[in-house]
Amino acid sequence: MKIYTSVQMREREQAAVDAGSSFEQLMENAGTAAASDILQHFPVPGRCLVVCGKGNNGGDGLVIARCLHAQGWQVDIVFLLGEQLTELAELNRQRLPQSNKLHIITMQQVSRQQPYELLIDGVFGTGFSGQLSDAVRQCMVQLNAMPGTRIALDMPTGLNCDTGQADADTFRADISYAFAAYKPAHLLAQAKPYCGQIVCLDIGIE
């Protein structure tokens, strides 16, 4: 079992790029690996909400949004922290299709939608430290109260991947996809209620 801290993840990511991969490819690998596992468990297209932050965790979410849409899912996307994204996340935003089955909405609009089968958290991953802002905390409270299967990308938002320190309103995932390796927090007893089932996915990083 591989366990990498956030710093080790960045080092391993750089090593994969030095060996011939690219940051873009690693994000694509992460998103498509998660989407493929999701589609195995949920083969019938339904409705999915993807909540993205500004970082690469959100970029993974955007790859998944594209993959699920391509398989017939109705996808709603929220940019919780505004639309000034990292370069890679922006690239994947531009790859989203124009479609009446894919909408950019706000969290205020979410409550007015029909229920979602899947709620995907791409707000913060290994880049998170410190405290949740009020806006993110409110969003997590809302998501945690909604019906549907909750899926965390890499880490549930609110959980520090290195220390396991968790905000009381951390996203409560049913499934967490750990990209490339488990992070220290995935293995701590205190983090269990937030991570749900943890699935480690190969994304082309040693």
Ligand X SMILES: NC(=O)C1=CN([C@@H]2O[C@H](COP(=O)(O)OP(=O)(O)OC[C@H]3O[C@@H](n4cnc5c(N)ncnc54)[C@H](O)[C@@H]3O)[C@@H](O)[C@H]2O)[C@@H](O)CC1
121 binds, among ligand X, K ion, none (CB under 5 to 8 A by kind): K ion
Residue 67, C-beta contacts closer than 8 angstroms, at least 6 positions apart: 31, 32, 35, 36, 39
What is the per-residue binding string for ligand X in 74-113, x denoting contact by CB under 6 A? ------------x---------------------------
Count interface residues toward ligand X (CB under 6 A).
30
Q: Per CB under 6 A, which region of 23-31, 39-47, 109-117, 188-196 contacts ligand X?
A: 23-31
User: What are the Cα distances from residue 145, in Å, to 86, 115, 124, 148, 161?
Assistant: 29, 12, 19, 9, 23
On whether the CB atoms of residues 170 and 143 are closer than 8 A, the answer is no
Does 30 participate in binding ligand X (rule CB under 6 A)? yes
| Residue owning tokens 């996915």 | 201
Residue choice 26, 34, 102, 175 for contact with ligand X (CB under 6 A): 26
In the set 13, 60, 76, 121, which binds K ion (CB under 5 A)? 121
130: left (phi over 0), alpha (psi -120 to 50) or beta: left
Site residues for ligand X, 141-170, by CB under 6 A, read 153-154
Q: Which of 43, 82, 130, 147 binds ligand X (CB under 6 A)?
A: 130
> Closest approach of Cβ 18 to K ion, in Å?
26
**Which option in ligand X, K ion, none does residue 169 bind, with CB closer than 5 to 8 A by kind?**
none
Instruction: Specify the 3-state DSSP secondary structure of 104.
Output: strand
The packing angle between helices 23-41 and 56-70, to 10°, is 50
Nearest to 59 by CA among 84, 34, 36, 85: 85
Does residue 27 bind ligand X (CB under 6 A)?
yes
CA pair distance 14, 24, nearest whole angstrom = 12
Does the footprint of ligand X cover residue 60 (CB under 6 A)?
yes
Please indicate if the annotation marks 131 as binding a ligand. yes
191 binds ligand X (CB under 6 A): no
Buried (b) or exposed (e) across 92-122, using 16+ Cβ within 10 A?
bbeebeeeeebeeeeeeebeeeeebbbbbbb
Residues found near K ion in the complex (CB under 5 A): 57, 121, 125, 152-153, 157
Q: Which residues are annotated as a binding site for (6S)-NADPHX?
A: 56-60, 125-131, 154
* Residue ranges of the binding site for K(+): 57, 121, 157
